[in-house]
Amino acid sequence: MVELRHSSSVGARASSSPMKRDEDASPLIHVTTHDDDHRHHFSRDRDRSFWSFLSDDPRVFSLLNSKISLFLIAVFAIVGLISAFSIFNRLNAPYLCKKDGIVLHCPHVNEAPSLWENPYSATTSWKPCAERRDNGISDLPPENETNGYIFIHAEGGLNQQRIAICNAVAVAKIMNATLILPVLKQDQIWKDQTKFEDIFDVDHFIDYLKYDVRIVRDIPEWFTDKSELFTSIRRTVKNIPKYAPAQFYIDNVLPRIKEKKIMALKPFVDRLGYDNVPPEINRLRCRVNYHALKFLPEIEEMSDLLVSRMRNRTGVSNPYMALHLRFEKGMVGLSFCDFVGTRDEKARMGEYRKKEWPRRYKNGSHLWQLALQKRKEGRCPLEPGEVAVILRAMGYPKETQIYVASGQVYGGQNRMAPLKNMFPSLVTKEELATKEELDGFRKHVTSLAALDFLVCLKSDVFVMTHGGNFAKLIIGARRYMGHLHKSIKPDKGLMSKSFGDPYMGWATFVEDVVVTHQTRTGLPEETFPNYDLWENPLTPCIKMSGARFLHGKNWKNMIRTDSRRQAGAGFEHMCLSLSLSLSLSHLLFISTFNIFNPEPEKLDLSFVGETCSKFLGKIIQYTKTMRIQLLSSLFLFSFCSYLYRVSSQPEHASFPPRGWNSYDSFCWIISEEDFLQSAGIISQRLKPYGYEYAVVDYLWYRKNVPGAYPDSLGFDVIDEWGRMIPDPDRWPSSKDGKGFTEVAKKVHGMGLKFGIHVMRGLSRQAYDANTLILDTTTGGAYEESGRQWRTKDIGIKERACAWMSHGFMSVNTKLGAGRAFLRSLYEQYAEWGVDFVKHDCVFGDDLDVDEITFVSEVLQKLNRPILYSLSPGTSVTPTMAKEISGLVNMYRVTGDDWDTWGDVAAHFDVSRDFAAANKIGAKGLLGRSWPDLDMLPLGWLTDQGSNRGPYRMSNLNLDEQKTQMTLWAMARSPLMFGGDFPCVTGTKGSTHKTTAHSQRSRRCLKEVGKSHAQFLGFTSCNHPKVNGWSIEALDQDLDQICWKENMGSHEPLCLYKQKPLLSSDERLIYNQGELHLLASDGMEFCLDASPRKKRTSKEFKSGSFSPCRSDANQMWELSNNGSLISSYSGLCATVKSIDANVGNSGGVRSWIATGRKEVRLEQEISTTEPYAKMIIIVLLGEIYVALFNLNSEKTVISARISDLTKALPGRNSKATSCHGREVWSGKDFGEIKDSISMEVEIHGCAFCKHKIKNRIKAIPKLS
């Protein structure tokens, strides 16, 4: 077990120093380093004995010293015992179970049905679409039109040969050539002489492809000198580049074939690309791989027999797992990774590597750092013991039936022991079949490999442990067959960090494994440049069931037709929608400017200069020495200058920022011309209403060429320091190193501020280029510890952006080079004239506190203010925002918001929770910070993640648009318009000239809806409906905590209470009454305060359960008032009633906000004796009420005046009168006495402004 931990600990965080490596391995280890200038102060104490520090006389060992020493020894003994007990518990990990008289702990793992079921098979259906297309390039030309013959040797093992055959058919099709049946060349590793007909069904192969490519069995008879084919350079085309495009063969190879009539292609491994060939060619390769290449019947029959025996090993039919274990001696040597073993074993491996790979081995001095880096990046094969631990953490029990496809494992039985002990039902084909049954296949090694291939292909769960063609083809084939079964691809980079953390307990490790691999089940993925067709045949060969396939001219014509039809028939509605969108912006800035934009209360420091000057003069006058005078003067002068600078600067982001962002309308393809045109319209139409930012969203540095898309690799423009610079084709003014300087100047000339979108840390392209890092203080390359640092020294590949894994990764901010790189980025943005930075993939599920903190520090030191925004906001809670809000100016609190009603409705609860947590307008970077509900998808839009500009109208109807704008304004969210402006001619709506006033309070007065289903969720502890929990005692040791409020005929929702298993330093938490809450008795799954998964805006924020662990996320406390509180999230658990038909989108919401500051009026009136007069004090105030109808039918919503006046604390509601008006319609309610009532449209809202007159006090005045 210790060896297994050691084997991965080196990969936790790579460092050239053992001390640094140990320090980086855990944040709990701290090393204090003293300044060199102060070390000599302690030199005279170094030789003193320990006891001399316990008495005044170092030569005397007194009785007191003896008592102190005994006390210290006792303390050390207690600490030692506690440490030993803690270490024993930490080492008590489930690496081995009871075996051969050795008893080691192996915790019980509950087997869940989802272990064998594909979580996506029930919700998503995939089907092949690689069939031939009529009138496509798949049509076979006449026989007399062939351009010649091509001949290849398929090298390598079975699966490498299989890929070569598929590519050979595709190349033959590209050049309209005849393919000679490939020869399976003997490989120096496999040492096999299998022929094509010994493994594949030749007749089926030729017949299946007869309409695609002409294939012959042998070299034509007219070519007599067959030996010349590969020996003569004249007949051999060499030096074909890897992943060559189709055009390369047409330009360079086809002329040679036409000349010689028959040519051999050598070498032919990975000599055809994927994204640089026509889609029909890729579909042809899929047909070859999945249909034409069929194993011989005897191989198929034997594999079926092995599968049947695997499923019935226990006497009943059971699912089984196939494990591709790549830990042969050759693989271990080739990986150059460090593994567990004795010194002699490692020395022998070193000699083996030196012999087989002398150029890479050199003198072996560099291999340690190489091993660290490769393990950190997840490029080392998993050891059998590591595989066993990962599978147990996933939940697979020891009874799991596992079929192992592997060569001879390096280390033999000793290396396999952990895996076999934890999973005794571990078998190979040699154990499933008799010797006689396999003898017929032993003469061909590839036949045995074919058996492994088919048994793994038909397994219920397939697990790969390292790369290679075998695993790629298995996963690709399972995807092609409909993704019906799991294919697990462990995240070796993240697992290496977990293995290397000596402080990680089993429960935490289990959680990391489960969360990390929730989506790593073989689901077809979106392709990217140079993608591997064999592992991921999604785009050319697979489609979702029911989706209509569109390609070529038909697709383009349909888009044009639909666009014309939509633009023509809906032009009037589109213009009305856009005009209304701008009207909403107009109204919400002018009408509600007085509600939602408080004039910040600035600290008046104007007296500082004068006061400091007087105090400085007194210090100089009364100080006795010139040295003290000078130091005091410098200190006070610096302090006064700082205070003066702070007092003279305006507060940053004092109001919620407003502007326009290009993402919703242009995605990433916007050009300089389009951007400046949009900025001009903003300046003319929206600037008067507070819209001041024009922001270009992400990938402004990406070339807009074929093959480029949001997660593509290799299309970005970077400078010599690895920094992103604008694509000069889309941004012509950026040429000659100008960046965005010219664009920013033009935007500033319009009276606007210029913003850009940036991603986390470092780009993958800059990492691969391994550029030097700029030191902005010197203007040259960053140097530290006697060497220049590069991007590969600071990039953390295993912390890549989850939704753009081929784009960006985090940088190590603990390194000076990492900080220097980030500093160079943001100082460059400031030089360009950037006023707004939207920092993406650093918040929510992608939280990177270190990078946010450092970037905030950099921005604070710049000589010009830059507004700092974070994105996205999936799974964000007020508690998460607590440590971030003070570092930024705005931060997303939801997933991406698009033009669907579900996305709009999903924002109500999160808006309420952040308002209740007092996070709106809280202290931020050089000013204030604002929770951001995302851009407003109104007007003319594109689609998420697309490569096209605006082409459609917003799907929200007019009532839904009004609801969204009203909600965003009531929540004081930043307003970033996302649509394009094709037909803007003006704005409509009333103009209300009012001054800015403060919003005092906001709360949800009423939330009603049909109660058909009960869901466990979270809400603010200030919510009136969180006090419904109570304890119900049981006969067993466990008690239940049940929710019984408003359950009607439903059974109470109950959770099982359990005391958490805490270590000694956590006992204080237990004494405070915190506890675990289990989903059910006997199930070790506890309620999480914050679900750890990425959530879209429309998903319901419900409770989730995960394996119990000892951290704050699962600690709950039942208060005396019946509320169930989480200290982790700051929220309370509650049971919500949701309409089963409409999910979380139903019901009625009423929100209140105060507007204009109250005006105090005093009026004298005559009274009877004994007083001559009475002073009546009257307060006039404004209240804004938003009534939201989330139902799917018109609803009449009412609100009582007595409820409205609760927004004005301490008022006497009985003496209140109210005058109201609806903002959108302009309807005047006149004087309102008791209540207001309005019919609200489906998904619509009523936005009412009320003037409240409240008589609160009468003061007698003597005559």
Q: Which range has the worst mean pLDDT, 65-79, 563-577, 937-951?
A: 563-577
Q: Which H or E run includes 1197?
A: strand 1195-1200
As a whole number of angstroms, the distance between CA 1247 and CA 581 comes to 16
**Confidence class of residue 457 from pLDDT cuts 50, 70 and 90?**
very high
Highest mean pLDDT of the ranges 427-431, 1070-1074, 1120-1124, 1225-1229 = 427-431
Tokens 């010797």, located at residue: 435
As a whole number of angstroms, the distance between CA 462 and CA 488 comes to 6
Verify that 487 and 635 share a domain, yes or no: no
Q: Which range has the worst mean pLDDT, 1089-1093, 1151-1155, 1228-1232?
A: 1089-1093
From the list 1102, 1103, 1137, 1120, the residue with the least C-alpha distance to 1029 is: 1120
Of residues 1204 and 481, more confidence is placed in 481
For residue 172, is pLDDT > 90? yes
Verify that 643 and 673 share a domain, yes or no: no
> In this structure, is residue 665 part of a structural domain?
yes
Looking at residue 321, what is its pLDDT? 95
**Confidence class of residue 317 from pLDDT cuts 50, 70 and 90?**
confident
The per-residue pLDDT for range 124-142, each reduced to its tens digit, is 577 888 887 654 555 565 6
| 714's tokens | 């290799």
Looking at residue 551, what is its pLDDT? 34
Distance between alpha carbon 553 and the CA centroid of its chain, in Å? 36
Verify that 637 and 747 share a domain, yes or no: no
Collapsed DSSP state (helix, strand, coil) of residue 364: coil
Looking at residue 279, what is its pLDDT? 84
For residue 1007, what are the contacts with CB-CB under 8 A and spacing of at least 6? Answer: 1147, 1148, 1149
**Confidence class of residue 464 from pLDDT cuts 50, 70 and 90?**
very high
Residue 482 backbone phi and psi in degrees, to 5: 115, 5
Verify that 612 and 527 share a domain, yes or no: no
> In this structure, is residue 64 part of a structural domain?
no
If you average pLDDT over residues 334-362, what whole number do you get? 82
Last residue in a domain, options 1112, 1138, 1164: 1138
Looking at residue 85, what is its pLDDT? 64
For residue 539, is pLDDT > 60? yes
| 546's tokens | 């029911």
> In this structure, is residue 556 part of a structural domain?
no
Verify that 464 and 589 share a domain, yes or no: no
Q: Specify the length of the chain in residues.
A: 1263
Burial of 1138 (0-12, 13-18, 19+ CB in 10 A): buried
> In this structure, is residue 37 part of a structural domain?
no
**Confidence class of residue 309 from pLDDT cuts 50, 70 and 90?**
very high
Looking at residue 286, what is its pLDDT? 93
Of residues 837 and 13, more confidence is placed in 837
Q: How many distinct helices (H) and strands (E) make up the chain?
A: 42, 50
| 119's tokens | 């979580």
Q: Which CATH number do you get for residue 1037? A: 2.80.10.50
Give me the sign of the Cα torsion angle 331, 335, 341, 342: positive
Report in angstroms the alpha-carbon separations of 655 from 587, 740, 784, 883. Answer: 16, 26, 43, 21
Q: Which H or E run includes 1124?
A: strand 1124-1125
Looking at residue 963, what is its pLDDT? 92
For residue 1124, list its beta bridge partners.
1118, 1133
> In this structure, is residue 551 part of a structural domain?
no
State the pairing for strand pair 952-953/940-941. Answer: antiparallel
Looking at residue 1155, what is its pLDDT? 64
For residue 900, is pLDDT > 60? yes
Distance between alpha carbon 222 and the CA centroid of its chain, in Å? 62
| Mean pLDDT, rounded, of the chain | 74
The per-residue pLDDT for range 741-785, each reduced to its tens digit, is 999 999 999 999 999 999 999 999 999 999 999 999 999 999 999
Q: Which range has the worst mean pLDDT, 361-370, 597-606, 906-915?
A: 597-606
Residue 530 backbone phi and psi in degrees, to 5: 60, 30
* Per-position DSSP letters for 90-145, written without gaps between them: HH--TT--SBTTB-------PPPGGGTS-TTTTT--EEE-----TTSTTSPPPGGG
Q: Which CATH number do you get for residue 1253? A: 2.60.40.1180
The per-residue pLDDT for range 954-1001, each reduced to its tens digit, is 889 999 999 999 999 889 999 999 998 654 434 343 333 222 322 323
Provide the 10 A C-beta neighbour count for residue 759: 21
Q: Which CATH number do you get for residue 966? A: 3.20.20.70
- Omega within 30 of 0 (cis) for the link into 424: no
**Confidence class of residue 370 from pLDDT cuts 50, 70 and 90?**
confident
Verify that 911 and 946 share a domain, yes or no: yes
Verify that 641 and 657 share a domain, yes or no: no
For residue 724, is pLDDT > 80? yes
If you average pLDDT over residues 1162-1181, what whole number do you get? 48
Of residues 371 and 530, more confidence is placed in 371
Q: What is the DSSP letter of 186?
A: P
> In this structure, is residue 29 part of a structural domain?
no
Looking at residue 1205, what is its pLDDT? 66
The per-residue pLDDT for range 2-19, each reduced to its tens digit, is 333 333 333 333 333 333
Highest mean pLDDT of the ranges 258-272, 741-755, 903-917 = 741-755
Q: Are 1185 and 1150 in contact (CB under 8 A)?
A: yes
Highest mean pLDDT of the ranges 226-235, 611-620, 877-886, 1041-1050 = 877-886
Verify that 898 and 940 share a domain, yes or no: yes
Looking at residue 141, what is its pLDDT? 59
> In this structure, is residue 44 part of a structural domain?
no
From the list 210, 214, 178, 182, the residue with the least C-alpha distance to 198 is: 182
Q: Percentage of the chain with pLDDT > 70?
A: 66
Verify that 1229 and 1106 share a domain, yes or no: no
For residue 500, is pLDDT > 90? no
Burial of 120 (0-12, 13-18, 19+ CB in 10 A): middle
Verify that 672 and 760 share a domain, yes or no: yes
Domain span including residue 180: 130-292
pTM of the model: 0.45
| 110's tokens | 């509950």
Highest mean pLDDT of the ranges 565-574, 594-603, 713-722 = 713-722
Verify that 250 and 337 share a domain, yes or no: no
Looking at residue 433, what is its pLDDT? 92
User: Total domain count for the chain?
Assistant: 6
Verify that 945 and 1026 share a domain, yes or no: no
If you average pLDDT over residues 316-322, what whole number do you get? 90
Looking at residue 34, what is its pLDDT? 42
Last residue in a domain, options 236, 259, 292: 292
> In this structure, is residue 507 part of a structural domain?
yes
Q: Which range has the worst mean pLDDT, 172-181, 636-645, 1134-1143, 1146-1155?
A: 636-645
Last residue in a domain, options 247, 269, 292: 292
